[in-house]
Amino acid sequence: MATPIAAKARFPIRRQSLPEMLVEALRERILSGEIRDGDSLLQETIAKEYEVSRVPVREALRQLEAQGLVSLRTHKGAVAISMKRETVIELLDLRILLECDILSHALTRFQESDLFAAEAILDDFEKESQDKRISQHGEMNWQFHKRLYLPSNRSETLAVIEKIHLRTHPLVRVPLVVSGRIHAADKEHRELLRLCGARNSDAIDYLRCHICNAIKLLS
């Protein structure tokens, strides 16, 4: 009797390693202000808080250093680095430059399969917003934008953009929810998807306005 072939998941769930989960948890605490600028991040303390060994904590701190949120100092351990509003705005300005450029390359290669994949992500994203479950808001926001840019085949640019998303979204998310603009942002995503699906170059200007709206929340 032939062994049945396992069906491939249509939308596979991202599996995270222990260091990656620690990175997300600690990044959220730093960007929310729970862990303040200059606070020491002791490996032993973090390991006890999350009931893990020091090995994944050490790796998580290295990744946070690469993201600009932690400074690893010789003989002094890790220290948190918070971001000023001006820094966040500067990073969002960089998003405009990089994402409008990468989208211009992606549009010419955008296929129906890309449209369906991005639409599936957006459907789940909107459901999260409606149910007011925003813990995964930043990750899902990135996954949607990433799916629009993948046809560009510009992996290096995409990697830089991802780092900016990870650093800035938690700080944008709070005013987005407080101002009630979270549903307006969902509508903007839907229109952006429509323009990309039609390979309409207006998508580039629309994306620029979409990111500018996030900047206005911080002004």
Where do the domains of the chain lie, and which CATH numbers do they carry? 18-80 (1.10.10.10), 85-218 (1.20.120.530)
The DSSP bridge partners found for residue 94 are none
**Regions in the chain scoring below 50 on pLDDT:** 1-14
pLDDT of residue 10: 46
pLDDT of residue 1: 47
Sign of the Cα pseudo-torsion (122, 210, 98, 176, in order)? negative
pTM for the model? 0.69
Strand order of the β-sheet with 77-80 is 40-41, 77-80, 70-73
pLDDT of residue 27: 82
d(CA 183, CA 206): 17
pLDDT of residue 153: 97
Biggest CA–CA distance in the chain, Å, is 66
